[in-house]
């Protein structure tokens, strides 16, 4: 499978587990390495696998209606990331999911989501007249 497609498939598995409230599927998507991290909107940074999984157990006990929109994957060697939007009810979050190639599969090592304006334009490349 093409690396970009494989990363996007792992991202889909993450959002399927999230939407279904399936902690076992969520655990299967994540790396078990010590350096996994997660920043949920409004939360402090979670800095290891036990803390990250404890947060998912709490969230998945009553999972929100969530949908991943416009995912875009980038791969560089054994590291990859997906930038997307998360639709939650009437709100939209911007999200980044970072993955690492481990033992023949892509595994999540970081998830971060935060508020954004749903009407904000998508930017696929910097404008030539950008000031910053």
Confidence band, pLDDT 50/70/90 cuts, at residue 119: low
Look up the pTM and report it. 0.87
Task: Check residue 39 and give its pLDDT.
Answer: 98
Task: Check residue 58 and give its pLDDT.
Answer: 97
Task: Check residue 130 and give its pLDDT.
Answer: 38
Among the ranges given (82-86, 98-102, 127-131), the one the predictor scored with the smallest mean pLDDT:
127-131
Would you say 83 and 72 are in contact if contact means Cβ atoms under 8 Å apart? Answer: yes
32-76 confidence digits (pLDDT tens): 999 999 999 999 999 999 999 999 999 999 999 999 999 999 999
The DSSP annotation for the chain comes to --HHHHHHHHHHHHHHHHHHT-HHHHHHHB--STT-EEE-TTSPPB-SHHHHHHHHHHHHTS---EEEEEEEEEEETTEEEEEEEEEETTEEEEEEEEEEEETTEEEEEEEEEEE--TTPPP-SS--TT---
Domains and CATH numbers, the chain: 3-115 (3.10.450.50)
Task: Check residue 121 and give its pLDDT.
Answer: 53
């Amino acid at each position: 499978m093409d690396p970009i497609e494989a990363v996007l498939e792992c991202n889909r598995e993450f959002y399927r587990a999230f939407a279904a409230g399936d902690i076992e599927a969520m655990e299967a998507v994540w790396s078990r390495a010590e350096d996994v991290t997660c920043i949920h909107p409004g939360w402090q940074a979670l800095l290891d696998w036990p803390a990250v999984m404890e947060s998912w157990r709490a969230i998945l006990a009553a999972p929100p209606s969530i949908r991943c929109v416009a995912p875009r994957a980038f791969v560089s060697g054994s590291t990859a990331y997906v930038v997307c939007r998360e639709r939650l009810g009437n709100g939209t979050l911007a999200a980044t999911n970072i993955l690492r190639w481990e033992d023949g599969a892509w595994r999540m090592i970081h998830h971060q989501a935060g508020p954004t304006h749903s009407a904000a334009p998508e930017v696929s490349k910097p404008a030539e007249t950008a000031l910053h």
